[in-house]
Amino acid sequence: MKIGIIGAGRIGATLARHFARIGHDVALSNSRGPETLTDLVQELGSSVRATTAAEAADHGQVVVVTIPYGRFRELPAEQLHGKVVVDTCNYYPERDGHDPELDADITTSSEKIRAFTGANLVKAFNAIYWENLRDRGLPKGDPGRLAIPVSGTDWEAKAVVSGLIRDIGFDPVDAGDLGLGGRKHQPGSRVYGAELSADELSGAVGAGASAARA
Ligand SMILES: NC(=O)c1ccc[n+]([C@@H]2O[C@H](COP(=O)([O-])OP(=O)(O)OC[C@H]3O[C@@H](n4cnc5c(N)ncnc54)[C@H](OP(=O)(O)O)[C@@H]3O)[C@@H](O)[C@H]2O)c1
């Protein structure tokens, strides 16, 4: 699959490494330009190339957005419109600046990124600490396999993203839509950063969760 990644930090580079390892064709980008990613893509191998963010968005059948939430208005909205986009971003006011709508819990960070881009957004990989994402992938059925919550409104998009999660060694658990569902795994929620099995995570994010795991 062709995968674009916008953001080449801890999460972006970790996902690029995983996706390349299982045979995907990855375009990786940051804000400073592809020339600043030369060493990283060389280390990641020939399945990963450095591009601009707009090129990564164009390239991907699935595009991962993994940047500080406060910079989402810099995203290439035109290229992301209608695409399956995986949103790993979390809102940290001390890093991102205050967003009054999020402070008042009127909406969620993912809903705002969806509104800005018009993308078919799936929230995932936001609640797992990056070192666990890097190091703790395990084969299907291993009792130590960690679960990753996923939310969004489009079942097909969630199925694609869930497949990627499984393929890199984790169990996806559906938390629901981006509103109520997304709130269940954003910072401050009980599952955020927790190291849980699929059954434990399904129990924590509530009704409907296990049905979508299949
Ligand atoms: N760290 C974790 O354990 C963790 C876990 C789950 C979710 N998250 C969330 O996932 C997101 C990424 O986290 P991270 O830890 O990977 O961050 P990070 O290490 O600070 O990396 C951020 C990356 O985003 C890039 N970036 C910033 N603005 C951009 C833009 N407008 N266009 C393209 N790229 C841009 C930066 O590129 P430049 O350096 O060129 O600006 C950098 O490569 C954050 O929202 C974070 O809260 C983090």
Report pLDDT for 212: 46
Does the beta carbon of 8 lie inside 6 Å of ligand 1? yes
pTM of the model: 0.97
3-state secondary structure the chain: CEEEEECCCHHHHHHHHHHHHCCCEEEEECCCCHHHHHHHHHHHCCCEEECCHHHHHHHCCEEEECCCHHHHHHCCHHHHCCCEEEECCCCCHHHHCCCHHHHCCCCCHHHHHHHHHCCEEEECCCCCCHHHHHHCCCCCCCCCCCEEEEECCCHHHHHHHHHHHHHCCCEEEEEECCCHHHHCCCCCCCCCCCCCCHHHHHHHHCCCCHHHHC
Report pLDDT for 208: 52
Q: Across the 214 residues of the chain, what is the mean pLDDT of every consecutive 10-residue run?
A: 98 98 98 98 97 98 98 98 98 98 98 98 98 98 97 98 98 97 98 98 77 42
Does the beta carbon of 37 lie inside 6 Å of ligand 1? no
Does the beta carbon of 168 lie inside 6 Å of ligand 1? no
